[in-house]
Amino acid sequence: MSPATKSKSRSAANAKPPLIRDLERVIDPRFVIWRPEDLLVYEYDGSIDRSIPAAVTVPGSAEETAAAVRIAKRHGVPVVPRGAGTGLSGGAVPLRGSLVVAMTRLNRILEINAENKIALVEPGVVNVELSNAAAEYDLYYAPDPSSQKACTIGGNVAENAGGPHCLAYGVTTNHVLGLEVVLADGSITWLGSDMREAPGYDLRGAFIGSEGTLGIATKIAVRLLKTPEAVQTMLAAFRSLDDASQAVSDVIASGIVPAALEMMDRTTIDACETVYRPGYPPDAQAVLIVEVDGLAETVAEQSAKIETLCTGNNASEIRRAQDPQQRADLWATRKGAIGAMGTLAPNYYLVDGVVPRTKLRDALAKVMEIGAELNLKIANVFHAGDGNLHPCILFDERDPAQVRRVIECGERILEMCAEAGGALSGEHGIGIEKQAYMPLVFTEADTQAMSRLRPAFGAEESFNPGKVFPGGAVHGETYGVKETGFHRTGTADVI
């Protein structure tokens, strides 16, 4: 190839498509990403699915966001909103040549109204930063996903995220009052309000948890809570998973609703010991982290009752945090547990299903049985108080056979949750991962009714296409998995 031909080839490769040229007219070109090598970091989120976007833009205002949506609509390109990319169901994976609209530059806390306990934030605000800012006023934001040091409020809204403290305080939808959103036609409107009650249809509630299929939030009004007078964080170690599970049931049955009630099994403990060295008892097969808060007298009474219940279920050791640092240390291990899994395997797949608390013991036994049948190692770290399981399936994505077994394992766990009278998701959403399993808990009429929300918002398939509803995408297709009903098969010559 002659130098002149090479030069022409490079020029052609670097030629800006019309979509990019139009975006750069309204958004700083530094924040319009389109070269193939730059798009790679936007092909995935925290799930195992991947897809390359057509382009990425990072707007700096609601107006720029709306302009990007209008331009995408004009070019017939679907839009995928993206927060920090920490989601675990493939919600931010850009299917069908989408334009990714990343909201990370809209990261300001616009107002904290301490008197009314309300904050107005942009969607790119990192979850924990809101509580840090509100602490000056003796306030905090309750929903606290384990990824709260990285995930953003906008992403939490899209997935209706939860967290350890949502047992007592509820998930994201219980703490969002109103949203400024960009709709599919590029218009900007408010859903709900910045007050605690708003008349009319609850469009705010419909938008939260819609996984980016209805629009893009550009401002979010949230309610803040008063920092409790007293907090007691406890850790109880058990020599059996059954004893720990029974302790969970007994605590809830006693009438106590802890602020948080979390469980980690032996495999998770092993991972955490390597990284955090918490010094849990070597014979512990499970540990519970229990936290109660409120008035000092109530906290003291409930803590004593919980300690008695754990002792009655053969707890081998009970620790009480004596100061804020010890409390932070207990939570650091729990919230960092998933990251510690890297010491056990190159990859993990975190399943998010829910079972009734009364069936927790049987569900955990079934999870381990499924893992053993498929020759997969599973670590369990989850929100025990509300039955929100998080089996963490450990594997190596370089082995296609393992990937197929992992997806089958997740499928069987979710089927088990549905059969137990539970739900497909406690906080991670449906995305690509669970859409094929929606018929396990929803009838066709249910699905059709839900699907009418998209056209009602004017979105159709223009926002986050191929997500939530059956038939939109195939979970694991990146690895050669093919959908055949619920059960999937794949070819070994992939990767």
Residues 6+ away with beta carbon under 8 Å from 313: 238, 243, 244, 246, 247, 250
Domain 109-226 fold:
3.30.465
C-alpha–C-alpha distance, residues 193 and 198, integer Å: 6
pLDDT for residue 459: 94
Among residues 385, 371, 391, 420, which one has the least CA distance to residue 245? 385
**Domain limits, the chain:** 18-102, 109-226, 230-340
Cα(250)–Cα(132) distance, integer angstroms:
34
Token pair of 367 as six digits: 């999870």
Q: What is the mean pLDDT of each run of 10 residues along the chain (495 residues)?
A: 52 78 98 97 94 98 98 98 97 97 98 97 98 98 96 98 95 97 97 81 96 98 97 98 96 96 97 95 97 97 98 97 94 94 96 94 96 98 95 95 95 97 96 96 95 94 95 87 55 31
pLDDT at 494: 28
Q: What one-letter code names the amino acid at 9?
A: S
d(Cα 63, Cα 230) in Å, to the nearest integer?
A: 44
What sign for the dihedral angle of Cα 367, 369, 374, 377?
positive
The two beta strands, 79-82 and 99-102, are parallel
Task: Give the right CATH number for 18-102 from 3.60.15.10, 3.40.630.30, 3.30.70.20, 3.30.43.10.
Answer: 3.30.43.10
Q: Considering Cα of 327, then 328, then 333, then 334, what sign does the dihedral take?
A: positive
Euclidean distance between CA atoms 415 and 434, whole angstroms: 11
Give the 3-state secondary structure of residue 98: coil
**Any residues with CB less than 8 A from the CB of 489 and at least 6 apart, and which?**
404, 481, 482
CB 99 within 8 A of CB 43: no
3 state SS for 372-416: HHCCCEEEEEEEHHHCEECEEEEECCCCHHHHHHHHHHHHHHHHH
Classify residue 147 by its DSSP letter: T
For domain 230-340, say whether CATH 3.30.565.10 is its number.
Answer: no
Q: Is 61 helix (H, G, I), strand (E, B) or coil?
A: coil
Are 101 and 57 spatial neighbours (Cβ–Cβ below 8 Å)?
A: yes
Distances (CA, A) of 164 to 88, 105, 427: 16, 28, 11
Helix axes 18-26, 62-74, angle to 10 degrees: 160
pLDDT digits (tens, 9 = 90+) for 141-172: 999 999 999 999 999 999 999 999 999 999 99
Predicted confidence at residue 14, as pLDDT, reads 62
| Residues in Cβ contact with 359 at an 8 Å cutoff, skipping those fewer than 6 apart | 387, 420, 421, 422
Distance CA 322, CA 464 (A): 47
- Among 405, 407, 410, smallest CA distance to 424 is for 410
- Residue matched to tokens 């291990």: 333
Q: Are residues 212 and 467 in contact, defined by beta-carbon separation less than 8 angstroms?
A: yes
Name residues whose C-beta falls within 8 Å of residue 159's C-beta, 6 or more positions apart in sequence: 87, 89, 91, 172, 209, 211, 427, 428, 429
Number of helices (H) and strands (E) in the chain: give both, helices first. 17, 22
Structure tokens at 282: 């070597």
